[in-house]
Structure 1
């Protein structure tokens, strides 16, 4: 299967607030917008996300409005310090400060108006031995 795009579709009554948040704070661009659905993408095409109101008949079967639980959207960057500086300049309401994690990430995080938690991460070298207790034995 070959994909031309892949993105989460968040069902939320806050479609317009989410659109405005992602455009203002993260520099996303609007690729398509209607009264019930918006698709956003980064200028370089490396990421996209969509939001849809819960009251439209074209809603896919099953998705209830997003409750803000059980989903974390990871956005990996090459330079998290630069991303943090840009986010701060755009007045992004950061909920998790820029932090070096022992498991091998430098990251910060925030919540958008739908309740979606977003982690902006840069992969780093984990602390020596940190992953040893979590790795599966390839022979088992």
Structure 2
């Protein structure tokens, strides 16, 4: 199967707030927007996300309104310090401070208007031996 795109659809009554947030704060471009649905993509096409109101009859079966738990959206960057500085200067309320994690990420995080957790990460060298306890032993 070949995909033209793949993206989550976050069902929320705050569709317009999310559209504006992702455009203004994260630089995503609006590719499609209507009263009930908006689709956004990163400027370089590396990521997409959509938001849909919970009340439109074309909604696929099953998606209840997002409650803000059980999902995060990873935005991998080359330099977390630069991303943090840019977002902080723009007034972003960072909820998880810029942190070097022992498992090999420098990251920070915040919520969007729908309650979706945004985790901005830079891959860094993990602490020596960190992953050893998680390694799968080779079959004998």
Q: TM-score, normalised by structure 1?
A: 0.95
Q: Which runs of 4+ in 1 moved over 6 A?
A: none
Matched pairs, number: 140
How do residues 49-88 of structure 1 correspond to structure 2 at under 5 angstroms?
49-88=49-88
Corresponding position of 2:10: 10
For 2:111, the equivalent position in structure 1 comes to: 111
Provide TM-score, normalisation by structure 2. Answer: 0.95
Instruction: Note the C-alpha offset of 1:138.
Output: 3.3
Aligned partners of 1:94, 1:33: CA distance in 2, in Å?
27
Alignment of 1:25-64 (within 5 A): 25-64=25-64
Q: Which residue matches 1:125?
A: 125
Q: Distance in 2 between matches of 1:135 and 1:60?
A: 40
Q: Write out per-residue CA displacement over residues 59-80 of structure 1, whole angstroms, 9 at most, x where no aligned residue.
A: 1111110010100111111111
Structure 1 residue runs without a partner (length 5+)? none
| SS in structure 1 of the partner of residue 40 of structure 2 | strand
Distance 2:96 2:71 in 1: 16
Q: Which structure 2 segments of 5+ residues have no match?
A: none
CA contact (8 A) 1:24 1:90 kept: no
User: Structure 2 CA distance, aligned partners of 1:86 and 1:3?
Assistant: 33
**What is the CA distance between 1:132 and its match in structure 2?**
1.2
In the alignment, is the contact (CA less than 8 A) between 1:10 and 1:51 conserved in 2? yes
Q: CA deviation at 1:90?
A: 1.8
CA RMSD of aligned residues (A): 1.2
